[in-house]
Amino acid sequence: MGEAIVKKFNELGYLNDVPGIYELPFDKLKGLEGFGEKSLTNLQQAIEASKQQPLHRLIFALGIRYVGETTAKTLANSVSHLLEFTDKSLDDLKAMEDVGPKVAGSIYQFFHNPDSIQLLKKLENVGLQLQNTKKSTIGDGNLTGKTFLFTGTLPTLKRSEAEAMAESNGGKLLSGVSSKLDYLVVGDDAGSKLEKAKKINSVKIINEAEFLQLIGK
């Protein structure tokens, strides 16, 4: 569902906000040029499947400023229902792992904005999962208690695969370089994170092969 399709649906009056994605009139879309039965079926199935995404994917998709995928996981794992964030103070948010004052302020503003709450309630009413039914759990393993950050392009692993491996072996993911970071796993074109890590003596800089050795592979 790319930008051109969104614009077309909007111009036709079928799509005016995010919850509208889940109320598209597919019976009317069948007659549109360029929208065959197969493409519409695929779109409908993809929209239905998106209702079952784990909570951290929804949080990331909300586009809260400064909230990346790692922070979204931290947020998801701290609640049973997304609207619990309306009761959290700035101090509550700043106390979370890897959430600094700037990020906490952005999260606080989002969940204390009436428009945001109305959006979330609409999304829940059309079937999206705001409860944390697929809570991400940290496994036990060789990396228990250690923190990791991946940067650059790894030789054989996608970053998402490497992050999942770290978590399943007990590791925790951080979104930035700080004194709380134990390992920075670097690939090609590592950039500023590598330079920052070099200035912090406690951060161990390793490559993909060394990371795999840590987990026994």
Flag whether pLDDT at 137 surpasses 60.
no
Flag whether pLDDT at 75 surpasses 80.
yes
Q: How many angstroms separate the CA atoms of 196 and 178, rounded?
A: 8
Q: What is the pLDDT of residues 33-44, one digit of tens each?
A: 878 888 899 999
Which DSSP category does 157 fall into? Answer: S
Question: Looking at the chain, which residues constitute the CATH 3.40.50.10190 domain(s)?
Answer: 147-214
Residue 89 pairs with which residues in a beta bridge?
none
Q: How many angstroms separate the CA atoms of 108 and 64, rounded?
A: 10
Q: What is the pLDDT of residues 78-134, one digit of tens each?
A: 899 999 999 999 999 998 877 889 999 999 999 999 999 999 999 999 999 999 875
- 174 to each of 150, 152, 180, how far by Cα in Å? 9, 15, 8
Instruction: Give the domain 147-214 fold.
Output: Rossmann fold (3.40.50)
Q: Beta strand pairing status for 183-186 and 204-206?
A: parallel
Contact status, residue 110 vs residue 88, Cβ threshold 8 Å: no
- 4 to each of 29, 42, 48, 62, 205, how far by Cα in Å? 15, 17, 21, 20, 43
- pLDDT bin (cut points 50, 70, 90) of residue 155 is very high
Average pLDDT, the chain: 90
The pLDDT value recorded for residue 172 is 87
Q: How many angstroms separate the CA atoms of 217 and 201, rounded?
A: 27
pTM tops 0.75: no
The pLDDT value recorded for residue 66 is 94
The pLDDT value recorded for residue 188 is 93
Print burial letters for 83-106: b (CB count within 10 Å at least 16), e (below 16).
eebeebeeeebbebbbbeeebbeb
Q: What is the pLDDT of residues 179-197, one digit of tens each?
A: 889 999 999 988 889 999 9
Residue-wise DSSP of 49-90: HHTT--HHHHHHHTT-TT--HHHHHHHHTT-SBGGGGGG--H
Q: The tokens 């999260």 sit on which residue?
A: 107
Q: In what order do the strands lie in the sheet with 183-186?
A: 172-173, 147-151, 183-186, 204-206
- Pick one of 1.10.150.20, 3.40.50.920, 3.40.50.1370, 1.10.287.3510 as the CATH number of 55-125: 1.10.150.20
